[in-house]
Structure 1
Amino acid sequence: MKKPEKPANEPLRIQTLNQLGLLDTEPDPKLDRLTEFVAHVFCVPVALISLVDSERQWFKSKVGLDACETSRDISFCGHAILDPGVFVVANTLKDGRFKDNPLVTGPPYIRFYAGAPLILENGSAIGTLCLIDIEPRTFDEDDIKVLREVADKVVNEFC
């Protein structure tokens, strides 16, 4: 398993995340509707709005997952915030970065992941809007476009 690296702008990213005051807050109905929407549109069992702080990824909104957070060291979202593009892992069992990850080898048995970074105006990617499936799958350019557009709507809700 490969632990996610820290972005070059990590101090600014963490400061920006903390200034938003979103961590450990109550669910937001508008964000929950967006999360439910992408879960339905992409027919996935799990969809999350994840915020990545220095030690964990915390789920501001979630569909299909009981956990409220996981360690950043095992997070897929920690990898997804490193690049502005949508991060896709079509089959976790065939990807050396993830095939022995505890989220792959145990519950929730992730086999597919797609995450669009939530990027604020200052360039800080504070988390992701992500999709998870228990089966490998493909994700085409149209899928990427839709996920990116909904992720941008999530960011608009934060600001």
Structure 2
Amino acid sequence: MLAPYPPLPMNELSRQRLIDAHPCLVESNSDAFLDEVVKIAALYFKTPICLITILDRKRQWFRARVGTDLQETPRADSFCAYSVAIGDSVEVCDAQQDERFRCNPLVTGEPGIRYYAGVPLVLDGGLVLGNLCVIDTQPRP
């Protein structure tokens, strides 16, 4: 049985309007500062993958990334969607053992996520755009 998809955040309409009004948030141009942030976070947490994600209506887009060639995933497969929905950090120590994620294609296939930790990227008005997350292919305590 698949775990239920996370509910949409209460401010989803405002969040999506902001993203629509600022296409630079989801453009494919790299940003040297954000690229450096994900490199530093991956080194600090000793994870092979680190992302800065922005959640759009139907996709999770990687604004900066290290350790994967993927540029986006469907929002329905997004671990970050849970963090955005609750507006708080999410940690998954072993995705294969977590009811919400064990059947997720990002767990059962590439990149083989086992560990995930994400913190929301919150604007002054409380809107959560996405996450800074670290990902490992091994479970962690």
TM-score range, shorter chain: over 0.9
2:90 equivalent to 1:84:
no
Q: Which among 107, 112, 115 is matched to residue 109 of structure 1?
A: 112
**Residue equivalent to 1:20:** 22
Q: Which among 59, 63, 68 is matched to residue 62 of structure 2?
A: 59
TM-score if structure 2 supplies the norm length?
0.93
Ranges in structure 2 where 5+ consecutive residues have no aligned partner: none
Alignment size in residue pairs = 138
2:73 equivalent to 1:70:
yes
Tell me the C-alpha RMSD between the 2 structures. Answer: 1.1
| Alpha-carbon distance, 1:17 to partner | 2.2
Contact 1:86/1:115 (<8 A) preserved = yes
Q: Which among 8, 11, 24 is matched to residue 10 of structure 2?
A: 8
2 CA distance for matches of 1:85 and 1:6? 13
Contact 1:59/1:69 (<8 A) preserved = yes
2:45 equivalent to 1:42:
yes
1 CA distance for matches of 2:19 and 2:86? 17
Moved over 6 A (4+): none
Ranges in structure 1 where 5+ consecutive residues have no aligned partner: 139-159
Q: SS where residue 81 of structure 1 aligns?
A: helix
Instruction: Using the aligned pairs only, state the percent identity.
Output: 40
- Matched residue type, 2:121: L
2 CA distance for matches of 1:18 and 1:30? 23
2:129 equivalent to 1:136:
no
